[in-house]
Amino acid sequence: MMDLTGVRHVQARIAQLQEQFGMPGNMPGTGFSQKLEKEIQKSLGLANTEKVQDTAKVAAEDKSQQLPEVQQTEAAKKVSSKLLDDMPLADQNLSTLIEAAARKYKVDPKLVAAVAEVESNGNQDAVSSVGAIGVMQLMPDTAASLGVDPYNKQQNIEGGAKYLRQMLDTFGGDLKKAVAAYNAGPGAVKDYGGVPPYKETQNYVSKVLDIYR
């Protein structure tokens, strides 16, 4: 609806000016026209001022309404940042290292990855109760014989892939025997002519082959 307050104000001033410059209904003089123009401009200026004030008020209200949302966004960022700080860093290069090591020693990368998962879940910081170190759980003596540093993740994985290659060569490519030898040692596999009757080794072979297949 149109705001007629300003118009009514001008009409009231016209009536006052008519009384000042001449009788109501008579044609007012030149002074009346100038006065009238001044009053109109004054009235319009007042209306514009009120509009500016109203606009500023609305903007302030909108800003006030948006403030909780801004605060909520900042709070969400802080929570997200806290969660990221608490989470372990993603190991983005593990698969790359496995691929490279597998290619170097001509072992199926899926087999290397399966062994890595069962041995340590791909964790370089894992240390077993018997002292096996890192991703593919190399014993210090085994790592030394392979010429790798088991505390270095790249060398650890390369050592594991190299040892798998040796076990595959030792047992004529027999996957089950090679995996069993990785866990129990080649001597035990030779002694029993296959997977040793150790529950740990049997479970180990099953887990690795299930993942591999």
- Classify residue 9: in a domain, yes or no: no
CB atoms within 10 A of CB 185: 16
At residue 31, the pLDDT reads 54
- Classify residue 53: in a domain, yes or no: no
- Classify residue 156: in a domain, yes or no: yes
- Classify residue 48: in a domain, yes or no: no
At residue 157, the pLDDT reads 97
pLDDT for 29-47, tens place per residue?
Answer: 445 455 555 655 665 554 4
Helix axes of 5-21 and 30-86: crossing angle, nearest 10 degrees: 160
pLDDT, greater one: 75 or 189 = 189
pTM for the whole structure: 0.58
- Classify residue 132: in a domain, yes or no: yes
Q: What is the DSSP string of 152-208?
A: SHHHHHHHHHHHHHHHHHHTTT-HHHHHHHHHH-HHHHHHHTSS-S-HHHHHHHHHH
Query: What is the rounded average pLDDT of the residues 177-199?
Result: 97
- Classify residue 197: in a domain, yes or no: yes
The CATH number linked to 167 is 1.10.530.10
- Classify residue 70: in a domain, yes or no: no
pLDDT, greater one: 143 or 52 = 143
- Classify residue 190: in a domain, yes or no: yes
Q: Which domain holds residue 164?
A: 110-212
pLDDT for 48-105, tens place per residue?
Answer: 544 445 544 544 454 444 444 444 445 444 433 333 343 333 455 899 999 999 999 9
Instruction: Supply 171's token pair.
Output: 């047992």
Q: How many domains does the chain have?
A: 1
- Which residues are identified as catalytic? 119
